Structure formats: structure tokens, C-alpha cells
Structure 1
Amino acid sequence: MVASRSLLLAHAILLILATQSVAAAQGSGEIRGRVVNAASRTPIGIATVEVMDSAGGVRAHASTDADGSFRIEGLLPARYRVRILALGYTPRVLPVEISVASPSVDLGSVALTASALVLQPLQVTGQKRDVELAPDRTTYVVRDMPTTRGGTALDVLRNVPAVDVDIDNIVSLRGNTGVVLQINGRPSPLKPAQLGNFLAQVPADMVDKVEVIPNPSARENPEGDAGIINIVLKQKADEGRSGGLTVGGGTTGHVDAGGNLGYERGPLSLFGSYGFLRDNRPRRDTIFRVNDYQSPLTYLEEAGLRTQIPLAHTLTGSVGYQLGEHDALSADADYSTRNEAETYSLLYRDLDSARTLSALSDRFTRGTNHEFNFEATLAYKHGFAAKGHKLSSELRVVRAQEGGPNGIIARDLALDGTPSDTSALERQTSWEHPDENSLRLDYVRPLSSVLRLEAGYRGSLQRFHTRLDTQVFDTAQAAWAPDSTRISDFTYRQVVHAAYGILDAQRGKFLLQGGIRVERATTQFHLLTTGATYANPYNSVFPSGLIAYNIDDTHQVKLSYSTRIRRPDDTDLLDPTAHYLDPLNISRGNPYLKPEYIRALELGLQRTADRLTLQLTPFFRHTVDAVRTIRTLDTAGVMTRTFANVSTSDAYGADVTIARSGGRLSGFAGASAFRQVSNASNLGPGLSAKTFGWTARTNASFRVSPTFDLQALLAYQAPITVEQGRVASRTRFTLAARKKLRNDQMSITLRVIDPFNTSRESSTTIDPRFYQVSDRRRVIRGLLLSVNWMFGRPRQHGRDDLIGNETPQ
């Protein structure tokens, strides 16, 4: 009944917003011209021409004809910027003013210079979504996406092709969770689950763009076998004073509020933001297990309800100062806290071979999880007199903490559900403190008009200290007593020194890049409770290469290679102490895990034509010592999860993305298909696996009028076979509508989240001793309404926009 009323309310609000939308007045102004090659004066066909208003929004869009000519009509009197882009050329921006007296502007022949050394990204711009395609990455500008408004950074990632976020906030790329998440180009010491929780408290309005780098060069951090996803937060102020406010709420108990304020005057730039988030999305878990090791066999049913109510605060700040024409100094700081009240109730039903109830018990956990994350960065940049010759350095400090107390009550129940004995009481406190200090130096120098050198150093010291204390109540002594089997105190220390060098060369339509990175890593894992120490020093070499070729102005082909590593530096992976998920489900780490080494080869084909962009990316990835999750069941019916290295794992497949920009309909459709073959014969028979998986996703926007638009996201992941079992398919669907007010300075957005209640994950584990089906469902179905207001004067064209990207008139 509540869901029906919610959907009726959604339809009513959509109808009201739609009926308030009016058609924009059409102007009579026009801009025309011809785009040519600066050297040969030959025409450039199918170049992209965009007319942008003072706020940077694209008001009109066209492509040049075969003779390089273009004409854009229907423009209102105003001042505009015309941006012209073509693959293999340096973009150019021209100021244009259309008035009543002069409604027609002829730009004449606009010459574009072939880009030297670096293939500039081609930017495909639609009404609400920007896509930049570069040789080594694809960038999605997401600052104006209705389906993320009022949500979090995780909602932003769910809208990016080939990226997925599961029910536990774990991010994957092409179905692989071994992806490294960076924030503003910097890797985080937080582990996947912690980082997912952190991103769940970052408002979507703080995210400017997302960069997907599936096959990074030697310049980038080599961590992660699936590549890098870089989340770029808004950290630049507009000229003068500017800012924005956002407030939202939803039927699930969601409340969010935030704001940002920026100031830029002369050499000084200041920016700050704040976000608040409260949510309540319970999760229901079920497990059905067949105990084949028993004769006659028995069954186990588990049903759980988890509630989590987070209260999160996020603060960001940045200051930049231009010391002179060639020097700049900047400092950034991010601080976030999250306090989460959590309860978890479990009911266990033991069944005999006839599936008749034979025993009943329950378990209830209540606790609070406290998190904080602090990151500070100091950076210096120096530009030498020669163009492209520069030096930059960065010092970074990260401090974080997660954990808190839990109280547990466990009872045996009579078959009718009444308690049959005295409750067993436990209390548990766990803390984890990940820290990192790092230094980065980068040097770039053009050696000639066609050759460039890049070199640099990365040094980092990572430490994390984890403590687990478990006590049980001794009824005979009427006192709490420690449980020595569930007490852990250990430290992990990792020191990495790395140096890299890259040569870029461009010859005609070819771009060649070769690089190498050498590393010395020293790791030490010390278990204080037993005195055991596990040390693992090792050296690594990471070569990379890229060949890109511009067939013409609309076609590009590229081939890239990289070697990467995935270090086992997570608490869950290493700590051999038993961590009780519940008495029948235990997790143990493996301190002897070796790092994974990944060799990746990727081919890229790209075509642009008018409003469409097509990108096809076949790939192959060979992994040595791949880390996999292994589950075992003992004779007491206790399931233990641990981790082990399998000999090799090969994955090959392809991604395809089609993006449409301009016009009333824009968006993208993407799909990824891959086959994975794992050789786990080193662990025993029956663990090797061959699987095929695919995902598909579309995000479409429809502009009903200049002030009203609709957007829909639909994502599907096909079922896939994994070691010891199978993961079921998943579907995600979100609808959004946005109404713009007050000359685009204010907007009202309504999101309909999971209208068909499909947010669930199901998996099957198959072993000679047992068969288990697990199902988890998070209750996220609901409506979310948010209001956004922006104020201040927008940036016209700052120094950072011009350097290396666009050439002004």
C-alpha cells in the first residue's frame, strides 16, 4: 500500500513538473564558418562545434561538413563561446556576441593546429553529459546528472559504463573487484569495504567527473588488476564569489544537505564544501544449506535482518595561489565522519532429512560503528620557460579510523519460538587505523618537437593497526571473561619506493609511448597476540606501452600494454584470527598470500560521427597467483571463508559503448562481455573454473523542454560461474525528472529508486560436502526529492582551462 502511494505520488509530481515546462523562445541568430588544417589549409570534416553560454552550458551543437563548413541557427542575442574540437587537433575557443543589430556572425576560416606529442581527448558533449575519449582513459563529466542528484558518489559510479557497485558497496570494473579507486588522482589506503562506506557518505553533488583507466601507463600507481577509477571532486572556485546549496529527502528515511562556497580573485583561489547524509536502508539475508557431509543429510535455514542508520558529515577545502607566471602552490584537505547505529538479528532453523524442524535458535547484535577519514595534500608546480617543460611535487598525509563496540545475545529456542535456556552474552570491540604518508615528484620535458620525456618518483609508507577484543559472560562467575580464540592485535607496515620513466613520440598520425616503472616494496605483518612476524620484501618491474593512430578526423585505433600488481594488504586477507560473522560463519585471513601480477593487453577502436561516438575495446588479462575466496565446512557445520593464491587466471573479452550527444535525446549504451579461465589445480581438484559473463547498461536523457528533462538508468549483469559456485543475475533501474527554475540557477529533481524492487544479490556455493544458496536484498525502493540552488558569477575562462587544452583567439 505504501509503495503504491509512493508511485502515485511520483507520477503526480512528474505530471506537475511536465505541465509546468514551456518551450523555449527561439532566436534568429546564427554562427557560421569553416574549419581547416592550420598547416595545409585543407578542410576538416566532422569536427565538433559547440556554442556555450557564459555558464559553460552547451546551447547548440553541430558537426562540420566534408568541406569543413558549419552553420548553427536559432540563437538568442547573448555572448557565447564557440568551442571547436577535432580528433588529433588542439581544441580552439572563440568569443562570439550575437545582438539584435548583428544577428549573424561569420567566423570565416578557423584554423586548427595538429596536436603535438599528446593526442588530445575528443569531447563529446550532450545537454547533460560530457564524455572525453583519450588514448589512456575515458572521462565522464557527471556534475549535471539527474539520476544521481541527492545521492552519493556510489550512485555516480553506478551511472558509469562497465562500472558496478554491489550491495556491500564494493566497486568493480568489467566484473572485477580488483580495481583501484582514486580520489583526485590519489590512491586511498582505505580497503574496499571501508572505501565503499566512505564514498557512500560523499554527496553526488561534490563529484565533478569520473575517469576510467583500464590499462594505465607506468606513470600511474600499478595497484589493482582491473585498472583505475579516478573520482574527481569539485575543488575549483569560479571567478569571483560562487556557491551552491542542496537539500533533499526521501521515503526511505534519507535526508541530505550540503553546500559549497568558492572565491577567486587574482592569484588566490579558495573553495570549500560541506555535506550531511542520513539514511536507513535495511537488508534482508537468507541462507539455505544442504549438509551433505552428514548421513542422513540435514538442512540449515538462516534468516537475517540488518538495519544501518548512518549519520555522515563531509568537509572539503582547497586553497591555491599563483606565485608568479611559472609557479603555483596549492593545499587540499578532506575530512569526514560517519557514525552508524547497526542491528542484526538472525534466526537459525535446523531441519532433518525430511525437512522437519529439529532445532531453533537466534542471535541479536547491536552496536555502533565510528569512522573518520582525514587527508591533507600540499602541492607545488613550476613551469619552465619552454612550453611543456614542468616540474611538480606533492606531499600527502592520510589518517583514518573505523570500528566500535558491539553487544551480542544468543539464545536456544523451543520449537514454538520461546527461549529454552539462559541467554549467552558477548561483547566485542574492534578498531582499525589505516595511515599513509607519501611523496610524489613528476618531471616533464620536451626533447624535441616530436619527443617528450616524463620521469618521476613515488614513495609511500602505509601502516594499519587492527585490534579485536571479544569477551563472553561467565554466568558461574557472574563476570566477563576474554575469549582468547577471538582476540587479535596486529600491525601491517608497507614501504614502497618507485621510479618511472616514459618517452612519448608523435610522428604524423602516430603516437608512440613506452614506459617502465621499478619498485622496491617491503612489507611486514606482526601479530602481537602470538608474537608471529611475516616479512615479504620484493622487487617489481612494470613496463607499459601505447601505440595510437589517427586514421582520419573521425577514426582512431590504439593498442596498449601494462603490467600491474595487487598486493594482499587487507586485514581480512591477512589476519589468521577467526572473525565471527556468526557462530556458523567464520572468516580467517592468510598471512602467506603472495601478490598478484597482471599482464594486460588492450585494443581500442574509436569512431565519431556527428552526434554519435562508438568505442570498442577488446582486452586480454593474464594473472599469476590470483587471490581467490575459498569456503570450507567442518563436521560441526561451521563455514569458514579464507583466501588462497591460484596458479593463473586468464580473462579476455570486449567492451562496447555508444554515446549520443546533442539534440533532445542523449546518453549512452554500453555492454561488456568476458570469459575467464582460472587454474586452481595447485589447491586441489574441483576448484578450477571456466566462466562467461556479460553486463549491459544504458543511461538515457530526454529534454522535454529547455527547463525540463527526464533520465533513466537500466543496468543488467548476467549470471556467472565462479570458483566453487555461481552468482545470479542482477538488475538495477532508476528514473529521474528535473525541473530548472530561475534561469537555471535552481532545480528540483525527483528520483524513483528501484521501482520494481530488484535490488538483490544471490549466489550458490557447490562443494562435495555441502550445497548453499545465499540471498541478500537491500530495501532501497523509494522516492528521493532534492532541491539545488547555485549562485555567483560563473567562470568565464580561467588559466587552468587554457594550458594544454584549448587555444583562445
Structure 2
Amino acid sequence: MKRFVVAVFGLMLAGSNAAISAQTPGPQLPAAAGEVRGSIIENESKLPLASAAVAVRSKKDSSLVSGAMAGPDGKFVVSGLRPGAYYVRVTKIGFGPRTADFVIAPDAPRQALAPIALGHVAVTLSTQEVVAERATMTVEADRNAYTAKQVAPAATNASEVLDAVPSVQVDHDGKVSLRGNENVAVQINGRVSPMRGAQLGQFLKTLPSGVVDKIEVIPNPSAKYDPEGMAGIINIVLKENVDLGLSGGVNVAGATAGRYNTNGNIGYQSGPFTTFTSYGFNYDERDVLGFNNRERLDAVGAATRYTNQDIIGLQANAGHNVTTTIDYKPNKRDVITNSVILNRRHGADNNTTGYTEINSSNSVNSRYDRIRGSNTTSQMVDYTLAWKRTLEPRKHEVSTEFRVNRTGDIDNTSQFRVPLNSTNSVERELDNTDAVTKTLNAQLDYMKVLKPGRKLETGFKGTERWLDRDYLVTKDLLGNNQWAVSNLSNDFSFSENVSAGYAVLSQAKGKFDLQGGLRAEYASRDFNLAKTNENFPYSYTSLFPSGNISYKKSDVLNMKASYSRRIRRPGTQELNPFPQFLDPQNALIGNPNLSPEYTDAFELGLTKSGDVYTFQLQPFYRHTTDVIRVDINTDGKVDGRDVTTVSFRNLASNNSWGTDATTQLRFGKKFNGLVGLNVFKTVTDGGSETALTTDAIAFSGRLNGNLNLTDALSMSANYRYQAPQKIEKGRFSANQQTFISFRQKVYGEKGSVTLRFVDPFNTIGFRIKTGNETILQNTSRSFGVRGTFLSFNYNFGQTPKIRQPQPQDAPPPSSGFPSGG
């Protein structure tokens, strides 16, 4: 439908400049002075219908003259009409078309039509038609929505779809960031994902791209949403709201570089029951190459000794993911949803680091290898029971849900040192981690339209989270099988409670949409160290106001301004004070006294649409207090070894400002693309007692393009560049990546074969320089991402039919995934 509307706008502009007019005798109006206005309503409820397409045609020959799209209140205005006889034709997916005649006369240039009522019809759309009507990017009041199939047509999993979205980055571990900030809340169907960091990244690699409908980027969410995620929210919307009968699909892909995946889905709808199940398996094996070079300096800056480390390794990850959703509609008002997610992942990380110790005169003191092997296993079970009652469509609704999640993680790591002149290993070490996380959520939401144009949303959410983690370290220093428990061993337990209530009031008035909200939270946590019997309790109360003003100047120009307050709560790894080695030369040491950091986020937006483009500019400013920053100490010592320690501390404040600029291009069915640029400046004030300050400018750019070479063969390309960036005590070098794919349709519209080239120029990796006046460290990694994928996709079953969802005053994120956060 969206591409149809774009076509209408294009013809509207062409038509308004052409001589398409019905001539009448007598005096003429000045050119383009006539106007028609009206409203679109649903036939049964008599409520407004948003986003209906309104085409104005000549009564004489039915030629298209102009057009518009109905706003959120169902109203439309079409201007620039010459005198003559016309009719409007109104269409919307799932509804039958309606027409209404009118006449523009010299003495009556403005006409107001009676409300046009559309009735529901059973609309069947083929897969090809549905895809053709969807735009790559849709701009809404508080978010940008990117159609998965358009922005990443060759993607095989959700992680690859995210990586093709403007302003979103996914690193080699699968960690997701927005505008360069990893502190972003990732949701699935409007609910916070129960996993974070690399764990979430591996989960997304097992989630099939075929079940992803769109990606919503919400940089400044309202008080209705959980305030976690300083950079905002990324919502992965899975496909739903389709009457499937019985249908499904399967996808199989393999690569030249030890990577393959398969996934499938099946859906069934009959009467009050709708079920949807998907399964995905992903295996990813990569070579890792890199180095860590350390240079120690004396008081005058002269080198005293060097340590060169050459790293070669192999990383492998495999995972299974099953999602099942069952909707039951016992009557017209109620919907009961059961949702289950099962996920099992396994990872292996084996590497050998060759050490060369060199003195100040460049003579080699010693050479040896450190060999490290790690195996991880994770299992997750997530269940949600949800209920929604629609007392009056779009006017009065109440919903509640209960969710429970359990995640278990086991990590077994071995490492030892082998001198080059010996075959015996020494300094042998075994690290075993066993962790269980349990989460319980209960939520109640209520919505009521107080009067036309005014809506109240309010609700409550309670979250409880418990984590028990056992970390056992045993060592055999001499390599004679005399194992002893190390002082690095530690056990801890962590509990967290968050109770929140919110209220959001929305008001539509003319061309303005106003929204204000407030969320109040009480949170407490307790971090307990079993070894030292220490407790670190912490509790706090927070208020999170939000506001949004949008102004629709015309059908092609929109402006908005928004504000929200966000929070970043420190994670358990950041709190645990016991050292944990990331590799033989880098140790992570947490800080149990960390406070949460708060961000006040301000954002402006301007969206301009034309025949072949949509341009969006989003300047932003963020002020963060108690900012949590990494404190890198290249001169650290842990367990008798010289290492680089990575810790955390609260700094005074951070200010960042910049802008996102995105342009969507579309040239009929032949080509569509996206161009994105993100530029920002960040200034960190560490306070009077630390040197951890920074003042840096960073930018990134992205190009996405999809070209239909023939009706059955298409090509897509994606390029991203990240400029160098200064950090506290260091600097990241630039990085870039490229993806190219070709897709050939087979079996009509039911299947496709895709050839995908990943990182063909072998540029994905990172390089960082860090240090102080006594030591410098230069680190580089490349991850063996380059490969060629060949995939086959096939869909079977009945042709999907659109099932109209419950009407909403505004398009909120879809539901169905367990809530959390």
C-alpha cells in the first residue's frame, strides 16, 4: 500500500503541473485554486480510518488529477483543482473502495464531502503484491520503520537484518549499537529481550530473517516504555496478523568459510485459533588473527622493554532457536496469547598467543606460547501468558501479561603456557563458570480515549531478577598435576527489583500532535560476594518525563521535537570486583559501587517527501550524568602477572550532540536505496579526581541499494564506514564493511536462490591504541568474516490473506514476545 501511495503522490505532482483540467465556459478560477476536503470512517464503528489513499479523478475521462493520504484522524484535503467535475476514489487494504462525486465551480471553489464509510472485505494479496507495496523506510511520529525484506533482501538471520539498518551497527560478537552506543534496548515485538550483549547477539543469529517483518528505530521513546537503553530502542517486529490457513517456508544456506544455517516456519489459522512456529539453526566458524604489542616507558618516555603478542585462533558458534505463539480469540473482545521461546547455544573459542619479550636494546629475552580454549553452553526458556480486552475499538482497551524466563550459562576455559624450547606445559589453569538467571515480570496496561483527539494511556510493571554465579579457578603452576584452587575463585548472587507506573496523555489538534508522559520507578539491587561475605545494597527512586510535538505542515513535510529521560543500570560483570581474564593479557575487574547513569535526550526531526525520495534530518543532544566509562589500565597486575585491566567508574558527565541524515530513494520497481550519515561530537568530563576525559568527533555513513535487473533477478549492496574515534585513554581506528548479493526467483513467487558475498575486501576488524605515560598498547584483530554464501528459500501453502488488526489510535509496537527489562 505504501508504494501505491508514493505512486499517487508522484502522479499528483505530475498532474498538478500538467494541463489536466475540465474546461467550462464563462469566467475561470485562477490556476489551482479549487479544494476538496472530507473524512474517511469505518462503516460499522463510524470511527476514523487513518492512511486511506484518496485519488481525485476527472469525471470526464477518469484520468488521475491529484491525491492525498488520510491523516490519523481520517481527514484529508486535496487542493490545486481547476473548475470541473470530479470524483474521489478511496482505497485501503482490507476494505472495499468507495467513490464520491463533486464539482468545482468558479463561485464554489471549495467543496466539503460527507464522511466516506469503508466496509471490510476479504482481501487476498499474493506475496509479490505485498512486497511491492511496502516502502523500505516508513517515518512515524516517534520512530523510523525499515521493512526487513527491502533493507536486507539477502539476510539469513535477524542479526544481518539489523546490520543493514541506518544508524544501527552489529559487531563481530553480534553486539548491537545505535549511533555508536551499545547501550540500546533491543525489543522483540515490543517487549525487552531477556538477553543482552554477546548473548543477545548469538540469539539473534539463530532467529530466521524470514519471520522478521520490520525493524523499528525509536531514538526517543515515551514514558510508556522501559527507560533502559541510553541510545533508545530497537524493536524487531515479527510477522503476524495474517490469516494463513496452512502455510510455511524453509531456507537453507551454506558458505565457503565454515558457516551454514537453516530455518523454517509454519503457520495455521482456523476459527478462533492462530498458531505460528519457527525454527532456526545457525553455525558460524571464523579464524581470528591479531596482535597485542606493549611498550613500557621510563620517566622521560624512553622504551625500557617490549612485549609482542601474535594471536591466531578459531571461534565457532552454533545455536538452535524455536518460537511458538498461539492466539485464542474466545469472543470479539478478548484475545489470549501464549508464547514460548526455546534457545540453546554452544560456543568455542580456541587460540594460541605467541609471546616475544624484548629488552630495551632490542634483544630477545624469551619466547613462549599461551594456549587458551573455551567452551560455552547456554539454554533459555521463556514463557508469556497475555490477555487483552477491547471494550471499544481504539477507544477503550485493557491488557495484562505475565512472563517468566530462565537462562543457564556454563563456561569452561583452560589455558596454559608452553616455552618454545620445551614440550611441557606450565602455568596451567582451569576456569569454570556456572550461572543461572531467573526473571519474573507482571504488567498491566490501560488505554481510554477521553474525547475525540485526546487519549490517556497508563499502566504498571513489576520486574524481579535473580542471578546466581559460581566461578571456580584451579591452577597447576609447575605442570605436575598438582592442582590447587586459586584466589581468583568467587561466587556471587545478585537480585534486582524494579516497580514502575506510567501515564501518557496524547492530544491531536489540527496539524499538531502533542504527547506528554511521566514514569515513576523504585528500584533496588543487592550484590552479595560469598567469599568475603560482603553485601553491596543499593536502592533509588527515579522519574522519567517525556514529551513529543509533531507538526504536519503538508502531506510532504513533517516536523517534530521530542524529549525523554533514560537510564543505564550497571550489569553484573561491571559490578563484580573479582578479576576475570578476557584473554591471558587482559582482565576484567568490576566496581560494586557503580551508580546508574541518567541521560536527558533531546531530538528534532524534519521529514520531506518528493516523487522519488524521502529525506529525514534528526539533530540530537544528550546530557548524561554519572556516566559509566571503561577505565583501561595498561600497567595493571593480577595474580602476579603484568596485564591490562579493564574496570569501570562513574565520571561526572558526558555531552554529545550531532545529527542523523537519511535519504530513501525509489525509482519505480527498478531501484530503491538508502543513504545514511551520522555525525556527532562527544565530550566527557571525568571530574576533578580523574584524567578520564575526552573530546571527540565521530561519524559513520551507510549506503544500501536494491536493483531489479529483470523481473526475476535482483541485486543488492550494502556499504558502511565508521570513522576513527577518540575514547578515554585511547583511539579506535576506522573500519568499513561491504556486502553484495544476487537473488534469482524460482518456482514463480514461491522460491529464490541467493548468492551473497560477505566482506569481499576483507576489511572487517578493529584496531585500538591505548595507554598512558608509562605504557603503550597497540591492539588489532581481524575475524575472518569474508565468505561466499549460497542460499535457497521456498514458501509453500495457501496464499496469505490480510487480517485487519484491532484498530489503534497510533501504531504501537506489535505484541507477542515476552516482556522484560
Please classify the TM superposition score into its range, dividing by the shorter chain length. Answer: 0.7 to 0.9
What does residue 155 of structure 2 align with? Answer: 149
Within-5 A mapping of 1:70-85: 85=69
What does residue 408 of structure 1 align with? Answer: 415
Are the structure 2 counterparts of residues 650 and 377 from structure 1 closer, same or farther at C-alpha, using a change threshold of 3 Å?
same
Distance in 2 between residues matched to 1:67 and 1:495, nearest whole Å: 64
| Structure 2 SS opposite 1:143 | helix
What does residue 624 of structure 2 align with? Answer: 623
Are the structure 2 counterparts of residues 87 and 659 from structure 1 closer, same or farther at C-alpha, using a change threshold of 3 Å?
farther
Within-5 A mapping of 1:423-572: 423-473=426-476, 478-484=481-487, 486-568=488-570, 570-572=571-573
The answer for unaligned runs of 5 or more in structure 2 is: 1-7, 16-32, 41-51, 76-89, 103-112, 118-129, 812-821
Q: CA offsets per residue over residues 26-80 of structure 1, 9 Å max, x none?
A: xxxx9999999xxx994589x9xxxxxxxxxxxxx9997999999999xxxxxxx
Residue 272 of structure 2 contacts residue 330 of structure 2 at CA under 8 Å; is this kept in 1?
yes
Distance in 2 between residues matched to 1:665 and 1:527, nearest whole Å: 59
**Normalised by the size of structure 1, how large is the TM-score?**
0.84
| Structure 2 SS opposite 1:744 | coil
Which of residues 174, 182, 189 is equivalent to 1:184?
Answer: 189
Which of residues 633, 645, 648 is equivalent to 2:650?
Answer: 645
Q: CA offsets per residue over residues 111-159 of structure 1, 9 Å max, x none?
A: 89899xxxxxxxx986775322111111112035555433x22211110
Distance in 1 between residues matched to 2:284 and 2:327, nearest whole Å: 34
Distance in 2 between residues matched to 1:358 and 1:130, nearest whole Å: 59
Residue identity matched to 1:574:
L
Which of residues 683, 689, 697 is equivalent to 2:702?
Answer: 697
Distance in 2 between residues matched to 1:763 and 1:799, nearest whole Å: 51
Are the structure 2 counterparts of residues 673 and 114 from structure 1 closer, same or farther at C-alpha, using a change threshold of 3 Å?
farther
Distance in 2 between residues matched to 1:617 and 1:68, nearest whole Å: 43
- Which shows bigger deviation, 640-649 or 582-591? 582-591
Q: How far is 1:780 from its partner?
A: 1.2
Residue identity matched to 2:616:
Q
Distance in 1 between residues matched to 2:502 and 2:720, nearest whole Å: 38
Q: How far is 1:643 from its partner?
A: 0.4
Distance in 1 between residues matched to 2:549 and 2:114, nearest whole Å: 23
- Which shows bigger deviation, 352-361 or 660-669? 352-361
Give aligned pairs, total: 729
**Normalised by the size of structure 2, how large is the TM-score?**
0.83
Residue 406 of structure 1 contacts residue 428 of structure 1 at CA under 8 Å; is this kept in 2?
yes
- Which shows bigger deviation, 675-684 or 236-245? 236-245
Distance in 1 between residues matched to 2:101 and 2:623, nearest whole Å: 50
Which of residues 313, 320, 327 is equivalent to 2:320?
Answer: 313
Q: How far is 1:797 from its partner?
A: 2.3
Distance in 1 between residues matched to 2:566 and 2:9, nearest whole Å: 49
Residue 126 of structure 1 contacts residue 666 of structure 1 at CA under 8 Å; is this kept in 2?
no
Residue 278 of structure 2 contacts residue 323 of structure 2 at CA under 8 Å; is this kept in 1?
yes
Q: How far is 1:464 from its partner?
A: 1.5
Distance in 1 between residues matched to 2:748 and 2:774, nearest whole Å: 66
What does residue 794 of structure 2 align with? Answer: 789
Residue 654 of structure 2 contacts residue 682 of structure 2 at CA under 8 Å; is this kept in 1?
yes
Q: How far is 1:282 from its partner?
A: 1.8
Q: How far is 1:804 from its partner?
A: 5.5
Residue identity matched to 2:734:
S
Q: How far is 1:190 from its partner?
A: 2.3
- Which shows bigger deviation, 674-683 or 592-601? 674-683
Residue identity matched to 1:800:
P
Distance in 2 between residues matched to 1:351 and 1:412, nearest whole Å: 15
Residue identity matched to 2:530:
L
Q: CA offsets per residue over residues 80-120 of structure 1, 9 Å max, x none?
A: xxx9845556497447999xxxxxx99666989899xxxxx
Distance in 2 between residues matched to 1:70 and 1:562, nearest whole Å: 52
Residue 556 of structure 1 contacts residue 606 of structure 1 at CA under 8 Å; is this kept in 2?
yes
Within-5 A mapping of 1:238-249: 238-249=243-254
Q: How far is 1:585 from its partner?
A: 1.8
Residue 607 of structure 1 contacts residue 613 of structure 1 at CA under 8 Å; is this kept in 2?
yes
The answer for unaligned runs of 5 or more in structure 1 is: 1-29, 48-60, 74-82, 99-104, 116-123
What does residue 107 of structure 2 align with? Answer: none
| Structure 1 SS opposite 2:286 | coil
| Structure 1 SS opposite 2:627 | strand
Residue identity matched to 2:174:
N
Q: How far is 1:297 from its partner?
A: 1.6
Residue 289 of structure 1 contacts residue 770 of structure 1 at CA under 8 Å; is this kept in 2?
yes
Q: How far is 1:208 from its partner?
A: 1.9
What does residue 398 of structure 1 align with? Answer: 405
What does residue 24 of structure 1 align with? Answer: none
Are the structure 2 counterparts of residues 160 and 69 from structure 1 closer, same or farther at C-alpha, using a change threshold of 3 Å?
farther
Which of residues 181, 200, 203 is equivalent to 1:198?
Answer: 203
Alignment of 1:371 onto 2:373: no
Distance in 2 between residues matched to 1:476 and 1:345, nearest whole Å: 18
Residue identity matched to 1:704:
L
Residue identity matched to 2:572:
T
Distance in 1 between residues matched to 2:426 and 2:115, nearest whole Å: 78
What does residue 102 of structure 1 align with? Answer: none
Within-5 A mapping of 1:93-112: 93-94=91-92
Distance in 1 between residues matched to 2:610 and 2:132, nearest whole Å: 14
Residue identity matched to 2:700:
T
Alignment of 1:170 onto 2:172: no
Q: Percent identity?
A: 31
Which of residues 681, 684, 692 is equivalent to 1:678?
Answer: 684
Q: How far is 1:637 from its partner?
A: 3.3
What does residue 739 of structure 1 align with? Answer: 744
Are the structure 2 counterparts of residues 304 and 236 from structure 1 closer, same or farther at C-alpha, using a change threshold of 3 Å?
farther
Residue 238 of structure 1 contacts residue 793 of structure 1 at CA under 8 Å; is this kept in 2?
no
Distance in 2 between residues matched to 1:161 and 1:95, nearest whole Å: 28
Q: How far is 1:497 from its partner?
A: 0.4
Q: How far is 1:429 from its partner?
A: 0.6
Residue identity matched to 2:467:
F
Are the structure 2 counterparts of residues 287 and 328 from structure 1 closer, same or farther at C-alpha, using a change threshold of 3 Å?
same
Alignment of 1:667 onto 2:673: yes
Residue identity matched to 1:544:
S
Residue 329 of structure 1 contacts residue 381 of structure 1 at CA under 8 Å; is this kept in 2?
yes
Alignment of 1:133 onto 2:135: no
Q: How far is 1:800 from its partner?
A: 1.3
| Structure 1 SS opposite 2:805 | helix
Distance in 2 between residues matched to 1:689 and 1:68, nearest whole Å: 67
Residue identity matched to 2:159:
L
Distance in 2 between residues matched to 1:241 and 1:252, nearest whole Å: 36
